[in-house]
Amino acid sequence: MAQVLVVTSGKGGVGKTTTTAALGAALAQHGQRVVVVDFDVGLRNLDLVMGAERRVVYDLTYVAQGNVRLHQALIRDRRIETLFLLAASQTRDKDALSEEGVERVIKELRASFDWVICDSPAGIERGATLAMRFADLAVVVTNPEVSSVRDSDRIIGLLDAKTEKAARGERMDKHLLLTRYDPIRAGRGDMLRIEDVMDILSIPLLAVIPESEDVLRASNLGSPITLASPKSAPARAYDEAAQRLMGVDKPVSIPNGRNGFLTKLFGRRAA
């Protein structure tokens, strides 16, 4: 049974695209058939982070409008066989996507994949609501700072209101993924603590991704972090998140205050 997962946040720049790529790759590394879909029409980025920017011929808007077949637009990852990308258009805007078109594409993707991961654009407008519309579950990406948390709260409200699942009267599964967490700064009070964020958002915690320069490096290399540096702390946190999504029951690793310091001294050993 395919699962449609939307990666969303409300606020921009918190790590939705990075998370989409990392979770997609991690799930595929566990043998799942995964497609990552970029819904950010007009500002596409997922192809860059996946390292497929020079292979995009057709994109989501072509398929949604029925101009090309789905398999013509799917781009298979060169590193993992079971990972595919459906890119967004860079030249069109969000109005190029119709709800019926998106519904048809998602339905078709459900038939051939285990996971359909939708990378939502920032904001709460049409693009974001279309990305979440047909999802079964949501990963809410949040930074430990107040504006990001408030925007995530807003998005959670929309997930409970504007999705097909909510319209059917079912409750949407929502998971919190906290990115760019720095335990030392949280300890000093410069950053919200994990407990504070969870208290405000009151949804279950999927993973805490520590702040790390590896993430930026991986993005610029065009490789999901779980492929670029699989031993790094963020990659391991994303891998855990993927396993948890697959139903593996394991506690969430919380980066502790010594990590940043120890990793600098001893290489990336301490989790």
Minimum distance from residue 133 beta carbon to other proteins (Å): 14
The Cα–Cα gap between 76 and 79 comes to 9
The answer to the question of residue 167 lying near other proteins (CB under 8 A) is yes
Minimum distance from residue 229 beta carbon to other proteins (Å): 35
The residue among 53 and 196 lying less far from other proteins, judged by its C-beta, is 196
Residue from 2, 48, 137, 200 in contact with other proteins (CB under 8 A): 200
The answer to the question of residue 12 lying near other proteins (CB under 8 A) is no
- For the stretch 148-151, contacts whose Cβ atoms lie closer than 8 Å and that sit 24 or more positions apart, written own/partner, are 148/9, 148/10, 148/11, 148/14, 149/192, 149/197, 149/200, 149/201, 151/9, 151/10, 151/11
Residue from 12, 157, 187, 204 in contact with other proteins (CB under 8 A): 157
The answer to the question of residue 153 lying near other proteins (CB under 8 A) is yes
The Cα–Cα gap between 93 and 212 comes to 33
The answer to the question of residue 204 lying near other proteins (CB under 8 A) is no
The answer to the question of residue 254 lying near other proteins (CB under 8 A) is no
Chain CA centroid to CA 40, Å: 13
Locate 87 and state its tokens. Answer: 């890119």
Minimum distance from residue 155 beta carbon to other proteins (Å): 9
Locate 34 and state its tokens. Answer: 């995964």
The residue among 157 and 187 lying less far from other proteins, judged by its C-beta, is 157
Residues forming a β-bridge with 140: 8, 176
Minimum distance from residue 195 beta carbon to other proteins (Å): 13
What is the residue whose two structure tokens read 């990305």?
A: 131
Residue from 166, 198, 246, 262 in contact with other proteins (CB under 8 A): 166
The residue among 161 and 248 lying less far from other proteins, judged by its C-beta, is 161
The answer to the question of residue 198 lying near other proteins (CB under 8 A) is no
Minimum distance from residue 202 beta carbon to other proteins (Å): 5
The answer to the question of residue 248 lying near other proteins (CB under 8 A) is no
Minimum distance from residue 27 beta carbon to other proteins (Å): 28
Helix residue ranges, H only, the chain: 16-29, 46-49, 60-64, 70-73, 99-112, 126-133, 146-159, 164-167, 183-188, 194-201, 213-221, 225-228, 233-245, 259-266
Q: CA 47 → CA 31, 39, 41, 105, 179, distances in Å?
A: 21, 11, 12, 18, 21
The answer to the question of residue 202 lying near other proteins (CB under 8 A) is yes
Q: Tell me which residue of 23, 24, 5, 4 sits closest to 179, measured CA to CA.
A: 23
The answer to the question of residue 156 lying near other proteins (CB under 8 A) is yes
Minimum distance from residue 211 beta carbon to other proteins (Å): 24
Q: Where do contacts with other proteins occur on this chain (CB under 8 A)?
A: 150-151, 153-154, 156-158, 160-162, 166-167, 169, 171, 199-200, 202
